[in-house]
Amino acid sequence: MRILIVGCGYVGQQVAALLRGDGHEVDGWVATSESVPAVSETGANPIVADAADPAAWAGRNGPWDAIVFSVSTSGGGEEHYRRVHGEALRLALGAAVGKPFIYTSSTSVYGQADGSWVDEESLAEPTVATSRVLLAAEREVLSAGGLVLRLSGIYGPGRAIYLRKLIEGTAVMDGGEGRWINQVHRDDAAAAIVWALLHGRSREILNVTDDEPVRLGELYRWLCGQMRLPMPLEVPGVTGRKRGRTHKRVSNARIAAAGWRPIYPTFREGYGALLASKAGWNSIDR
């Protein structure tokens, strides 16, 4: 197959490497030339263009057999989200008519703040504007026959915010055990995308997260124990702008029942591998 990855970044590059390893041809779409060396290293063919520009798609409508839309909007505001998950997404959907389409969304669309378990049937009413943009994008993908993968907080080599904060001495706790953290290792997120693509999943939503949500306090205790560091100070009222809005446990039961299993089923295996390799100090948690 020839596959286009729109947003061939941290996760997309791992997807490209896996697909190339299976013998597929891959085009990796990125926004700037700075990403070209990393994309080329995976064996994918780089495309450098603004995915929200209709002119950039002229003459590019194939012959792709499938499209993966995995554009990162980390740090962007609502307007940026609307450009990427609105304008760019619609152009990508237009290039994928009648073909498999996978869209990576976020578990941030679940707005629950009571520590409850949520699954794909749970109410999705995000309180954050950017997450509402993602939810609207999901509806467009589903109506077009695509697949929505809701990824939880991504961490892995080069990205592990809680680990980095502990090492830098900037980690703090609000008090108590803290909120529930839902995470997925980058390699598992990429493997789930490839699995869904090769198994022809469509017209559904699947949560992509590890097997065990963890309270922030437990995560810090485990990491501090592994690194022989003191626990972070308790400083009430320091919860981050984005991270403090939800408090829920995300279930991966549906995708697990369908046959996907994570390489790193809990934070222990995932962070254990990072500690062993001394890799990764920045992360996105949703």
- Render pLDDT for 95-154 as a digit per residue (tens, 0 to 9): 999 999 999 999 999 999 999 999 999 999 999 999 999 999 999 999 999 999 999 999
pLDDT value of residue 59:
78
How far is the C-alpha of 266 from the C-alpha of 258, rounded, in Å?
19
pLDDT bin (cut points 50, 70, 90) of residue 86 is very high
- Residue 76: its pLDDT value, please? 78
Q: Is this structure's pTM higher than 0.75?
A: yes
* DSSP one-letter code for 175: S
CA distance 74 to 19: 25
The reported pLDDT for the residue numbered 237 is 63
Within 10 A of 20 (CB to CB), how many other CB atoms are there? 16
Q: What pLDDT, on a 0 to 100 scale, did the predictor assign at position 235?
A: 81
Cα distance between residue 137 and residue 154, in whole Å: 20
Q: In 107-122, which positions are buried (b, 16+ CB within 10 angstroms) versus exposed (e)?
A: bbbbbbeeeeebebeb
Residue with the two structure tokens 């948690």? 285
Q: In angstroms, rounded to a whole number, what is the distance separating the alpha carbons of residues 10 and 2? A: 20
Q: What is the CA radius of gyration of the chain?
A: 19
Length of the chain: 286
How far is it, in rounded angstroms, from Cα 188 to Cα 192? 6
Beta bridge partners of residue 68, listed in sequence order:
5, 102
**Span 47-62, mean pLDDT?**
89
Residue 37: the pLDDT is 98
CA-CA distance, 76 to 83, in Å (whole number)?
10
The answer on pLDDT for 281 being more than 60 is: no
Instruction: State pLDDT tens for residues 20-49.
Output: 999 999 999 999 999 999 999 999 999 999
Q: What confidence category does residue 271 fall into, taking pLDDT thresholds of 50, 70 and 90?
A: very high
162: tokens are 């809680």
Does the pLDDT at position 282 exceed 90? Answer: no
Please say whether the beta carbons of 232 and 174 come within 8 A. no
CATH architecture designation of domain 2-153+185-211+249-263: 3-Layer(aba) Sandwich (3.40)
The Cα–Cα gap between 69 and 79 comes to 18
Strands 233-234 and 183-185 turn out to be unpaired
- Cβ atoms of residues 44 and 22 within 8 Å: no
